[in-house]
């Protein structure tokens, strides 16, 4: 008996969703269950279908035609944070990201083809795809928010309950807004090294990170300069495409990847430097993305793969270069949160800690469950707010147990999520990027929390 099809499959596609995925990826899972203790959603729900093993069962069942891609099955797959913690835990080397990501891309494509209004609603069209990937648009959109914060109107609106009149997703966006720093000038196209040149690098500035964390991009550039790097900032770089790719919009993600590969002359630099874990993971995956989305286009895959091999997280690059030790003392008790796409997707754990250990006076205390996702996961905290909030509270409890004055993390999304959780709980704890701390030490300055 043929299993029933979901609404958007009926009469449109004979092949089940996921049929184009290399079946060997499914077969590499031996169903041992060691991934379950590392999976944030399974830890919260205890539901096998919300574990990596369970999701692989579901996807394989759909591909084999044994189960239908119902709304319930889709929900379990969409609840995945794509944090890749399961890949770290897996003794069999299952490449879970190569399963869940193309599967969800195809889910989205089928829904769009069937005219499903949920597949490309107003939030996806105007906010997720129309605003976030464009730093210049986002800067304009944030200008009124800066003024309302400066005048205290944001607190007044919250106190009067006016923010509750907004659509749910806009309420979530408003709650995620940190205290915005003054707008920063654009980075120059070329910054000279301090002292003898040791390397020439290109800096990827991102979209949300560039608009909301401009001071961190400047700090990153200065740290690279202090380490003898000439820094090039290509003007025609664009969003990395992670926002599109992880939400199932494959074609625009591939277009953005191609634009970035054209914008950066990788033959002219030693590395393409990134300071955002999620973006770095996406940039390093460009070759895989091209293989999934344009399997017949060898030229595109080779070009994107060449670009991907030049991408380095800033902490990864500095430790391989040999960092120049900063000398400015910062007497601060801090803890470090591992961004998922840094520790799991890129396997970068010790390098940020090693860099921070060079800062005189800085005490770095361990954080329990440091590698468990905080619930940010790109746009996940906007599309899956309940689970994001549960994971955020879990992370907050562990942070407070450290009695730290600062939380350091290498991802913009994590920073927004942690700042929101701390702010809502009434805790004034500095959330910083490793480059923010190193930059202050190089420049003999103190963070605002110590002034």
Q: Please state, rounded to an integer, the average pLDDT across all residues of the chain.
A: 89
Q: pLDDT tens, 179-216?
A: 888 888 999 999 999 999 999 999 999 998 899 999 99
Confidence of residue 106 (pLDDT cuts 50, 70, 90): confident
Asked if 196 and 301 sit in the same domain, the reply is yes
Asked if 211 and 268 sit in the same domain, the reply is yes
Structural domain boundaries, residue 62: 23-113
Asked if 299 and 196 sit in the same domain, the reply is yes
Domain at 381, CATH number: 3.40.50.1860
Report yes or no on 138 lying in a domain: yes
Per-residue tokens: 426? 């009434």
Q: pLDDT tens, 379-422?
A: 788 788 899 999 999 999 999 999 999 999 999 999 999 999 99
Asked if 130 and 156 sit in the same domain, the reply is yes
β-pair partners for 333: 363
pLDDT at 6 over 50: no
Asked if 357 and 382 sit in the same domain, the reply is yes
Q: Which of 134, 278, 262, 137 has the alpha carbon at shortest distance from 207? A: 134
Report yes or no on 17 lying in a domain: no
Report yes or no on 1 lying in a domain: no
Asked if 209 and 309 sit in the same domain, the reply is yes
pLDDT at 110: 84
Q: pLDDT tens, 137-174?
A: 988 888 888 888 777 777 777 777 767 777 777 777 77
Report yes or no on 3 lying in a domain: no
Report yes or no on 151 lying in a domain: yes
Asked if 68 and 109 sit in the same domain, the reply is yes
What's the domain count of the chain?
Answer: 4
Report yes or no on 39 lying in a domain: yes
Domain at 210, CATH number: 1.20.1050
* C-alpha to C-alpha distance for 243 and 81, rounded to whole angstroms: 13
Q: Which of 80, 69, 88, 74 has the alpha carbon at shortest distance from 4? A: 69
Taking the model in full, what pTM does it have? 0.90
pLDDT at 168: 75
Residue at which a domain ends, from 319, 335, 350: 319
pLDDT at 141: 87
Asked if 106 and 155 sit in the same domain, the reply is no
Report yes or no on 49 lying in a domain: yes
Report yes or no on 253 lying in a domain: yes
Asked if 285 and 355 sit in the same domain, the reply is no
Do residues 3 and 65 lie in contact, with contact meaning Cβ atoms separated by under 8 Å? Answer: yes
Residue at which a domain ends, from 113, 139, 165: 113
Query: What is the percentage of the chain residues whose pLDDT exceeds 70?
Result: 95
Asked if 136 and 93 sit in the same domain, the reply is no
Residue at which a domain ends, from 319, 354, 388: 319
* C-alpha to C-alpha distance for 241 and 238, rounded to whole angstroms: 8
Q: Which of 352, 367, 189 has the alpha carbon at shortest distance from 276? A: 352
Asked if 40 and 94 sit in the same domain, the reply is yes
Asked if 281 and 206 sit in the same domain, the reply is yes
């Amino acid at each position: 008996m043929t299993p029933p099809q979901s609404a958007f499959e009926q009469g449109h596609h004979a092949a089940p969703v996921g049929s184009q995925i290399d079946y060997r990826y499914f077969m590499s899972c031996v169903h041992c269950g060691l991934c379950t203790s590392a999976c944030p959603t399974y830890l919260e729900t205890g539901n096998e279908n919300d574990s990596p093993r369970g999701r692989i069962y579901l996807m394989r069942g759909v591909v084999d035609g044994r189960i239908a891609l119902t709304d319930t099955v889709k929900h379990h797959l969409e609840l995945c944070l794509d944090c890749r913690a399961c890949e770290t835990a897996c003794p069999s080397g299952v490449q879970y990201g190569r399963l869940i990501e193309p599967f969800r891309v195809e889910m989205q494509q089928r829904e769009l083809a069937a005219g499903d209004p949920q597949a490309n609603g107003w939030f996806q069209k105007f906010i997720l795809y129309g605003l976030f990937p464009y730093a210049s648009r986002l800067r304009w959109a944030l200008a009124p928010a800066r003024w309302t914060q400066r005048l205290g109107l944001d607190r007044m609106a919250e106190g009067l309950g006016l923010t509750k009149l907004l659509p749910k997703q806009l309420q979530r966006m408003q709650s995620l807004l940190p205290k915005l720093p003054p707008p920063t000038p654009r980075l120059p196209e070329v910054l000279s090294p301090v002292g003898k040149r040791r390397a020439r690098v290109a800096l990827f500035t991102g979209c949300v990170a560039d608009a909301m964390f401009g001071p961190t991009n400047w700090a990153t550039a200065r740290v690279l300069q202090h380490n003898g790097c000439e820094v090039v900032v290509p003007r025609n770089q664009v969003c990395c495409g992670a926002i599109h790719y992880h939400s199932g919009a494959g074609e625009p993600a591939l277009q953005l990847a191609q634009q970035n590969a054209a914008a950066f002359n990788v033959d002219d630099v030693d590395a393409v430097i990134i300071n955002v874990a999620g973006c770095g993971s996406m940039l390093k995956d460009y070759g895989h993305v091209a293989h999934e989305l344009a399997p017949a286009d060898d030229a595109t895959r080779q070009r994107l793969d060449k670009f991907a091999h030049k991408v380095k997280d800033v902490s990864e690059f500095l430790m391989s270069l040999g960092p120049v030790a900063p000398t400015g003392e910062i007497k601060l008790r801090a803890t470090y949160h591992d961004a998922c796409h840094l520790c799991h997707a890129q396997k970068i754990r010790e390098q940020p800690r090693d860099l921070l250990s060079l800062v005189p006076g800085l005490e770095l205390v361990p954080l329990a469950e440091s590698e468990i996702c905080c619930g940010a996961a790109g746009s996940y905290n906007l599309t899956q707010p309940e689970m994001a909030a549960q994971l955020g509270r879990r992370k907050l409890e562990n942070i407070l147990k450290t009695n730290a004055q600062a939380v350091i993390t290498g991802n913009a999304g994590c920073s927004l999520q942690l700042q929101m959780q701390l702010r809502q709980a009434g805790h004034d704890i500095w959330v910083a990027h490793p480059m923010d701390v190193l930059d202050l030490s190089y420049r003999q300055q103190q963070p605002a929390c110590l002034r």
